[in-house]
Chain A
Amino acid sequence: MSISVEHLNFSYCDRPVLEDVSFRAVCGEVVCIIGPNGVGKSTLFRCILGIINNYSGIAKINEIEIKTLKPKQLARLIAYIPQSHTPAFHYSVLDMTLMGTTAQMSAFATPRKQEIIVAEEALKILDIYHLRDRDFTKMSGGERQLVLIARALAQQAKVLIMDEPTANLDYGNQILVLEQVKHLTSKGYTIIQSTHQPEQALYYADYVIALKDGRVYAAGKPHDVMDEELIFNLYGVRVKIQSLFDDKIRMCIPEDVLLHR
């Protein structure tokens, strides 16, 4: 499983959003995309997910061009995990998860025993099988995020795209979700996620792509590319990056915070 994007350009109403974006993600990696709000992270995801098609350049999965794939074929290869949200109607956790199996079913089918087994397996992998019959809309944000991940697992695609998976989650749930995501890479999943927290990239990413003004500003291993200058150039915040536990972990502390203490 690999995803590669080569020289991707996209403009929305003559306003360039993405310019000459190239990167590659391979099996078992967590790729973090960082960058300020409105830099085109979500747009990039829409291109990879085949929702936007009028871009120039090439986006490929397993060496097949994404534009040439039908929604169903693409859904068997890439799954999308949105931010935890509240749908318009009440669904049980099982129903939510079952939606992931749609790409595996024939056009006019409804989920049957076989699909229910797949969905239940996905819930078990994330340790949320006990929530099976709960109302999705009445759960905590963290639980909902895990259900959305289970739905993506039920889709049986090996590439997972996550749009800020920890937005609106409390600290405990953030760590829970990110740990589960990291755990999935050992099962052969490739994960591409966007994040607002530089720390998350430092903690969890195998590869970091920093976007600025629609371009790839820096890319590489987090310890190589994520320095104080990069953070300042992306977010306009001066930080100190601290190495801890023999450089196993690095932390990012805003200088203003240090001044106040």
Chain B
Amino acid sequence: MKKNTRKSPKRVLIVLGLLLLLVALFSLTLGRYPISLNELVGIISSQVIFIKPFWDEKMEIIFWNVRLPRIILAILVGSCLSVAGACFQGIFQNPMASPDILGASTGAAFGAALAILNHASKAMISVSAFFFSILCVGIVYLVSQKSMGNKILALVLSGIMVSSLFNAGTSFLKLAADPMDELPAITYWMMGSLSGASVKDIRFVFPLMCIGIFPIILLRWKITVITMGEEEARAMGVNTGLVRLIIIISATLITAASVSVSGMIGWVGLVIPHLSRRLIGSNYKYLIPATILFGAIFLLIVDNVSRNVLTSEIPIGILTAFIGAPFFLYLLSGRGDKL
């Protein structure tokens, strides 16, 4: 490859940023209650300058309380799940790692099921899901630290074990649930959906996500070095134990925050990092910003499908699986070396 034919990573990032802006604007106009671009600009700018409303009041309420929170949440959740996936793939040197590798989602599912069973409010379901998600990963980490051998392998294995324990717990709760209302609620939660997105949700997860994503951005070059393996990274001057711990905590925090408000949305955290690698390479200096933007774009588009294609909503987790699994098969077949 000649120097001038290389894609400049910065240019790719700018294009992704503009694309996100466009998709977000487009998504704001879409819905059962279509808002034209004119009205959209009017509603937004009326916050700053006085404009005589030429749209009906109902539209404005829908925009601020339903449409906008949902779009923002899709962006946040898409970014966070993708970045968490990229982080776990990096620190485990494993292209097949996804955000739930340490049990963040199974923990959250248990927490949500428990809250639903206790007739908790929607906010409490989120809090419970978040708490159990963190708890599950915490247990996984502590168990793995007891191991004498390869710490990474111990983490992944105890992730599988503790996950299946929480899975069993969730199954038991389902068994105990009232099949008329509680069981469907649990099942629906586990399919993943952004349909209930509210300003409250955003207030709850936004600070957590910021706290989580900040260290990841700061340490992104260190993740690149850690993909070389424990010994090499140490010899290159990286305090691997500390960096890995910080990244695990941060990635878990943003995964737990995402899952707690959106339910289980699979595949995003696995597929988006790989797509981003194809676009921009594996250097985490650029890969992290690229996955943030790409993940947001992807989930926005899928959520548009989820809320607009059929008269009743399709849970987004089902859609990401429908798109993600065949896509991954395509990656594996023939061009598997690119993984």
Q: Which residues of A contact B (CB under 8 A)?
A: 13, 46, 49-51, 70-76, 78-80, 82, 87-92, 95, 99-100, 102-103, 105, 108-111, 133-134, 151, 155, 161
In the bound complex, do residue B236 and residue A155 qualify as a contact, i.e. CB atoms below 8 Å apart? yes
- Chain B residues closer than 8 Å to A72, beta-carbon distance: 237-239
Known pairs A92-B281, A99-B228; A110 contacts B234 (CB<8 A): no
Report the 6 A-B pairs with minimum CB-CB distance, sorted nearest first.
A75-B237, A103-B237, A80-B235, A89-B282, A72-B237, A108-B218
Please report which residues of chain B, range 255-306, place their CB below 8 angstroms from some CB of chain A when the two chains form the complex: 277, 281-283, 285
User: Size class of B's contact patch?
Assistant: 20 to 34
In the bound complex, do residue B281 and residue A102 qualify as a contact, i.e. CB atoms below 8 Å apart? no
- Chain B residues closer than 8 Å to A100, beta-carbon distance: 236
- Chain A residues closer than 8 Å to B238, beta-carbon distance: 71-72, 102
Nearest B residue to A148 via CB reads B232
- Chain A residues closer than 8 Å to B281, beta-carbon distance: 90-92, 95
Nearest B residue to A49 via CB reads B235
- Chain A residues closer than 8 Å to B1, beta-carbon distance: 133-134
Residue B154 interfacial (CB < 8 Å): no
- CB<8 Å pairs between A and B, sample of 9: A49-B235, A51-B235, A80-B235, A91-B281, A100-B236, A102-B222, A103-B236, A133-B1, A134-B1
In the bound complex, do residue B235 and residue A75 qualify as a contact, i.e. CB atoms below 8 Å apart? yes
Per the bound structure, the CA–CA distance linking A46 and B6 in Å amounts to 38
- Chain B residues closer than 8 Å to A133, beta-carbon distance: 1, 3, 6
In the bound complex, do residue B237 and residue A102 qualify as a contact, i.e. CB atoms below 8 Å apart? yes
- Chain B residues closer than 8 Å to A134, beta-carbon distance: 1
Per the bound structure, the CA–CA distance linking A12 and B169 in Å amounts to 39
- Chain A residues closer than 8 Å to B65, beta-carbon distance: none
Identify whether the interface residues of A are mostly helix, strand, loop, or mixed: loop
Partner of A99 from B89, B220, B224, B240 at Cβ < 8 Å: B224
In the bound complex, do residue B221 and residue A110 qualify as a contact, i.e. CB atoms below 8 Å apart? yes
Per the bound structure, the CA–CA distance linking A60 and B6 in Å amounts to 45
In the bound complex, do residue A46 and residue B231 qualify as a contact, i.e. CB atoms below 8 Å apart? yes
Please report which residues of chain B, range 88-115, place their CB below 8 angstroms from some CB of chain A when the two chains form the complex: 89-90, 93-95
Per the bound structure, the CA–CA distance linking A87 and B95 in Å amounts to 11
In the bound complex, do residue B282 and residue A95 qualify as a contact, i.e. CB atoms below 8 Å apart? yes
Partner of A89 from B148, B227, B231, B232 at Cβ < 8 Å: B227
Query: 4 new A-B pairs (CB below 8 Å) besides A51-B234, A103-B237?
Result: A46-B231, A99-B236, A110-B220, A110-B221
In the bound complex, do residue A50 and residue B236 qualify as a contact, i.e. CB atoms below 8 Å apart? no
Nearest B residue to A89 via CB reads B282
In the bound complex, do residue A74 and residue B94 qualify as a contact, i.e. CB atoms below 8 Å apart? no
- Chain A residues closer than 8 Å to B90, beta-carbon distance: 89
In the bound complex, do residue B283 and residue A71 qualify as a contact, i.e. CB atoms below 8 Å apart? no
- Chain B residues closer than 8 Å to A73, beta-carbon distance: 237
In the bound complex, do residue B235 and residue A111 qualify as a contact, i.e. CB atoms below 8 Å apart? no
In the bound complex, do residue A90 and residue B277 qualify as a contact, i.e. CB atoms below 8 Å apart? yes
In the bound complex, do residue A111 and residue B221 qualify as a contact, i.e. CB atoms below 8 Å apart? yes
In the bound complex, do residue A99 and residue B225 qualify as a contact, i.e. CB atoms below 8 Å apart? yes
Per the bound structure, the CA–CA distance linking A73 and B93 in Å amounts to 25
Per the bound structure, the CA–CA distance linking A76 and B238 in Å amounts to 11
Nearest B residue to A70 via CB reads B239
Nearest A residue to B243 via CB reads A107
Partner of A71 from B6, B94, B234 at Cβ < 8 Å: B234
Residue B30 interfacial (CB < 8 Å): no
Q: How far is the CB of A245 from chain B (nearest CB, A)?
A: 38
- Chain B residues closer than 8 Å to A49, beta-carbon distance: 231, 234-235
Known pairs A88-B94, A88-B227, A90-B281; A108 contacts B219 (CB<8 A): yes
Q: How far is the CB of B86 from chain A (nearest CB, A)?
A: 10
In the bound complex, do residue A111 and residue B285 qualify as a contact, i.e. CB atoms below 8 Å apart? yes
Partner of B236 from A13, A102, A108 at Cβ < 8 Å: A102
